[in-house]
Amino acid sequence: MGEVHLIDHPLVQHKLTLMRRKEASTNSFRRLTNEISALMTYEVLRDIAMQEIDIETPLEVTTGKVIDGKKLVFVSILRAGNGILDGMLGLVPGARVGHIGLYRDPKTLGAVEYYFKMPGDLHERDVVVVDPMLATGNSAVAAVERLKECSPKSIKFVCLLTCPEGIAAFHKAHPDVPLYTAAIDRGLNDHGYILPGLGDAGDRIFGTK
Measured CA to CA, the distance from residue 96 to residue 89 in angstroms comes to 9
Binder to ligand URA among 12, 72, 73, 133 (CB under 6 A)?
133
Establish whether 204 is a catalytic residue. no
Site for ligand URA in 63-92 (CB under 6 A): 80
User: Is 101 within 8 Å of 87 (Cβ atoms)?
Assistant: no
Question: Does 194 contact ligand URA by CB under 6 A?
Answer: yes
Is residue 201 within the footprint of ligand URA (CB under 6 A)? yes
Considering the complex, state which of residue 15 and residue 125 has its C-beta at the smaller distance from ligand URA. 15
Closest separation in Å from C-beta 135 to ligand URA? 4
- Dist. CA 28–CA 15, nearest whole Å: 10
Separation CA 54–CA 58 (nearest Å): 13
Catalytic entry in 46, 62, 108, 190: 108
Tell me, what DSSP letter sits at residue 70?
Answer: G
Is residue 176 annotated as a catalytic residue, yes or no? no
Q: Which of 108, 105, 92 is nearest to 37 (CA)?
A: 92
Q: Would the annotation count 138 as a binding residue? A: yes
CA dihedral (87, 181, 66, 144) positive or negative = negative
In the complex with ligand URA, the residue whose CB is nearer, 95 or 158, is: 158
200 is a catalytic site residue: yes
Residue numbering of the annotated binding site for uracil: 194, 199-201
Binding site for ligand URA (CB under 6 A): 80, 133, 135, 192-194, 197, 200-202
